[in-house]
Amino acid sequence: MANNDFSWSAVVGKVVINTVSHPLEYAKVLIQLGHEPIPPYPTRTLFGRPALALPSIFQYVAHIKRVDGLAGCYRGLGAKLCSVVVSGYVYHCTLDSVRDASDTDVDAETEDLSPQLRGEKFAREVRQMALARAAAVVASQPFTVVAVRTMAQFVGGEKIYVGIFASIGEIYREEGIMGFFKGLVPRLLGELIALIISSTFTHFVNNLLVKDREFQSYVSITSSYLATSLTYPFQVVSNCMAVANTRLAAGNPPYMPGYTTWGQCWRHLGATGQLKRGSSLLWRYYTVLPAA
């Protein structure tokens, strides 16, 4: 039985948002994979120092459009939307199944609980949300892999992953079941760490500092943004591992080292200062990578 909080209208809203923003997300994924097709150009930083600038996200999207046309800006959209829908549905269904019947009885009286009971209730809710989030990530990862690989084809101009079902068949033939879960561990860790950071920050601020209900909603939004920013490197590593050592040019030298584990990918990107690539979408500066 689906969670009462689950709403197909909310899913439709997410689908619309993801469709409208997909060209930007597409360019962001290519940047995360390390693909920079436009040479850096001389500029100055906000402090007036000379630097080499990389194109903004909007310039990157314009480049994709020049190469592939407007329709090309929507590569991977179908698989991405499947990932969004599956993730949302599995999250709410799992959350519904792990919640205790007593949770709803306590919700209306949360403010009257003692600090100890509040803490116990918070810990229980975080465990439940973590289980639901883990299930959602695992269930949607195959579609995420298809989406990322479809977008990564821009780098080498391949046509290996065309259509959701054909792409699923291609991955299964080449890599078996495990191919659908490449990049799962860093993505799962990032999602769970972000959930714990965001929930913990919101809980303590709203219980100790902020009493105004309207302002508490802003605290939740802010904590979610900060947590996502802190765990951003996990997203970069996950997307890199989704294409590493595949038949795509984007996943092999010279575009990408031959990563065999996500830990190796993390260490290399960390050593070269690339763990946050794609996080800044407007002001991007070229960094001279250290010699191998």
1 pLDDT band, cuts 50/70/90, is: very low
- Strand arrangement, sheet containing 50-54: 41-44, 50-54, 284-285
- Asked if 283 and 277 count as a contact pair (C-beta separation under 8 A), the reply is no
Closest CA to 136 of 178, 82, 182: 82
- Whole-number Å distance between alpha carbons of 268 and 277: 13
Which of the following CATH numbers is that of domain 8-285: 1.10.645.10, 1.10.10.10, 3.40.50.1220, 1.50.40.10?
Answer: 1.50.40.10
- pLDDT score of 191 more than 60: yes
pLDDT in the model for residue 210: 63
pLDDT in tens, 52-100: 889 999 999 999 999 999 999 999 999 999 999 999 999 999 999 888 6
- Asked if 153 and 159 count as a contact pair (C-beta separation under 8 A), the reply is yes
Q: Which residue has the higher pLDDT, 167 or 106?
A: 167
pLDDT in the model for residue 132: 96
- pLDDT score of 207 more than 80: no
* Dihedral, 126, 7, 91, 244 alpha carbons, nearest 10: -120
Task: Give me the residue spans of the domains in the chain.
Answer: 8-285
What is the length of the chain? 292
- pLDDT score of 9 more than 90: no
Q: Which residue has the higher pLDDT, 206 or 127?
A: 127
Mean of all residue pLDDT scores within the chain: 88
pLDDT in the model for residue 157: 95
Lowest mean pLDDT, pick from 34-43, 209-218, 221-230, 281-290: 209-218
192 torsion bin: left (phi>0), alpha (psi -120 to 50), beta (else): alpha
Backbone angles phi, psi at 54, to 5 degrees: -95, 155
Element (H, E) at 50: strand 50-54
The rounded percent of the chain whose pLDDT value lies above 90 is 66
pLDDT in tens, 256-292: 998 999 999 999 999 999 999 999 888 888 776 654 4
Q: Which residues pair with 50 in a beta bridge?
A: 44
pLDDT in tens, 71-83: 999 999 999 999 9
- Whole-number Å distance between alpha carbons of 154 and 143: 18
Mean pLDDT of 140-159: 97
pLDDT in the model for residue 109: 52
Amino acid in the structure at residue 130: A
